[in-house]
Amino acid sequence: MSHLSILPTVLRDADLLAASLTGLGFRPRWGGELQGFADDRQAVELQVCLPNGQALGWRRQSDGSLALVGDLQRLGRSGSLQRLIGRITRAYAARQALADAAALPAVLPGALIEVHG
């Protein structure tokens, strides 16, 4: 018997998260609820359906961060949950870094941004 768990994250920007999820091949959906065992339900701001049919969602915390919501016990059995969270976090961080870099010329006129890789 498993239930929905809430895992705090450092993610704050839901639009950036949605773009990151899309870039990873997911189809994010805004709003709704995730259902766990019996009457266990959690409202979420953003959610995705995983290839195995399970869902992950993110809900806004009082500090403005987005907490990960899902049946982490069941998802963790496959061993791929940690890799998936890592992929999502890296994609989000890369998009955040690019957004921050794009804002630099407004803060530092004449700044030149180059991306190598």
Residue pLDDT, tens place only, 84-99: 999 999 999 999 998 8
> Is the residue at 92 inside a domain?
yes
- The stretch 6-24 carries a mean pLDDT of 95
* Domains contained in the chain, number: 1
Q: Output the pTM of the full model.
A: 0.84
Q: Is the pLDDT of residue 1 over 50?
A: no
DSSP state of 79: S
Contacts of 1 (CB under 8 A, 6+ apart): 37
Alpha helices in 1-117 (DSSP H): 14-23, 72-76, 81-107
> Is the residue at 117 inside a domain?
no
Q: Which residue has the higher pLDDT, 107 or 75?
A: 75
> Is the residue at 116 inside a domain?
no
Q: Which domain holds residue 97?
A: 5-101
